[in-house]
Structure formats: structure tokens, C-alpha cells
Amino acid sequence: MEIRGPVLLPARREDVEFETVDGLTLVGELALPENRAPVATLVTLHPLPTAGGFMDSHILRKAAGRLPALADLAVLRFNTRGTTSPRGTSDGAFDGGTAEVFDVAAAVDFVRERGLPRPWLVGWSFGTELALKYGRDHDIEGVILLSPPLHRASADEVAAWAGDSRRVIVLVPEFDDYLRPDEARERFASIPHAQLIAVDGGKHLWVGENQTRRVLTEIVAAVNPDALPLPLQWDEPAEG
């Protein structure tokens, strides 16, 4: 079977909930390798909910569908406050990235309480703003930023990562709607150790299997490079 589209490879999948310090219940899913302990953990932060972003946004859904089996990664997806998906609706209301500081904290706390190893924040679009603004406050190994628009994270919040030894991986599509590679190089220049990867032919939404595979490969290259190259075929039964 070719690994593409919405295929679900084997994993232990669990619907989860966790509480924020301001009293909200957030809903999500944790996917773990089926028969092994994970070697690292992806805490995913979805695109803008007012523009249709949620925990099932396709790159995050495919990361959860493939990477536990292909790269021994745990993948946590969740809806930030006020966001709805087929999994359910998280309490509260969208706050433009401000009160979402508590959502990020609750997700990282959940990972720590579960004893999951080596957490990374993986943000996409709006999720990159949350990772940049709040990631430094938490015990994580680094951040992976997919299509960062840099609308909400200030220049000072970006530059604050310059004094932080944790890794900053930035994937910028060639044809992004908001921030393209040349401008991204200027705006991330304040972080000397940031690794900026310009993706030829890429667009903000990473549509198409080739773009999906590129994004997932770059995530694994940062977090568990021993799992590369990611296979294109799966020879065992997949989930329904």
C-alpha cells in the first residue's frame, strides 16, 4: 500500500482531555507507536481557528496518522479554546493568541504528566505564533514552525530566542501567502541559530502529497533523523 492521503498507519490512539489553569477543558487525541515507546513527542499547534484551522488540519492529521508508525513519535493534537473538530469542541472562546498561552501550557503539562519524552512544539501558521510567543516558557527541545506568518509574534518575541539554545526550525514555502523566504530570512535573522528551510514550490497550506511528505520529512529530520528516509510503502495492515 502506498502511504499517501488520509491513510492511518497502526498506532495506539486515545481521545484525551486536559484542563487549563483558567478552568477550561480542551479536547484532543494522543497517538503513540503501537508496540514501542516513543523516542520523542510532537505537541502540535493548529492553524487559525477563525480561518478553519483545527486539530484535524491536514498536515497535523497526517503527522498523527503516519509518524507513530514510521518514526516512533508520539503526536498530541488538540483544539485550542473555542475550536471545534469531529473530536469535539474545546471550552472557551478564541482569544487571538493571548489567553491561548494557557492552552499551550496545558498541553505541555499533559505531556509531562504522561511521562512522554523529548517534547517539541510543532506549530502551523497561527500555531507558529503560539510556539514563538510561549514556547520558551516550557521544558521543550525546540520548535518547528510551518508557514509562519509572523502576524502576532513581535520582533522582540522572535529575537528572544537568540539567547536560547533550543532549536528553531522554520519551514517557509516559496509561494506563501504571508511570509516568503527572503522576508523570512530578514525577520528571523535575529535568531542566529535558527534553521530556515525554503521549500521550493510550497504554499501556505502545503497541499498535495509531495508537500506533505516534505513537511513530515523535515519534522522527522529534526526530531528523530535515524528514522529517515520515510518509507513510501506500508506492507502491513493499516487501520480502517
Domain assignment of residue 1, yes or no: no
Alpha-carbon gap, residue 19 to 25, rounded angstroms: 5
The model's pLDDT over 121-176, given as tens digits with 9 standing for 90+, comes to: 999 999 999 999 999 999 999 999 999 999 999 999 999 999 899 999 999 999 99
Does 195 fall in a domain?
Answer: yes
Name the pairing type of β-strands 167-173 and 142-146: parallel
DSSP class of 67: H
| 206 backbone φψ class: left, alpha, beta (φ>0; ψ -120 to 50) | left
Checking DSSP bridges between strand 84-85 and strand 88-89, what pairing results, if any?
antiparallel
Angle, in degrees to the nearest 10, between helices 100-113 and 126-134: 70
Parent domain of 153? 12-225
Q: Considering the domain boundaries, does residue 6 fall inside one?
A: no
Say how far apart CA 199 and CA 206 lie, in whole Å.
10
Which residues does residue 73 pair with via DSSP β-bridges, in sequence order? 40
Cα–Cα distance, 79 to 133 (Å, whole number): 18
Torsion of CA 90, 93, 96, 100, to 10 degrees: -50
Confirm whether 4 is domain-assigned. no
Q: How far apart are CA 96 and CA 126, in angstroms?
A: 9
231 part of a folded domain = no
Q: Is residue 238 a part of any domain in this protein?
A: no
3-state helix, strand, coil in the chain (%, to 5): 30, 25, 45
- How do 142-146 and 119-124 pair as beta strands? parallel
Per the structure, how many domains does the chain have?
Answer: 1
For residues 223-236, average pLDDT: 96
What CATH code is carried by the domain that includes residue 201?
A: 3.40.50.1820
Q: At what angle do helices 58-71 and 209-223 cross, to 10 degrees?
A: 50
Residue 29's nearest CA partner among 96, 74, 67, 69 is 74
Residue 53 lies in a domain: yes
Distance between CA atoms of residues 120 and 131, nearest Å = 10
> Do the domain assignments include residue 234?
no
Q: What is the pTM of this model?
A: 0.97
pLDDT digits 0-9 by tens, 5-34? 999 999 999 999 999 999 999 999 999 999
- Give the pLDDT confidence of 112-129 residue by residue, as tens digits: 999 999 999 999 999 999
Residue 240 has pLDDT above 70, yes or no: no
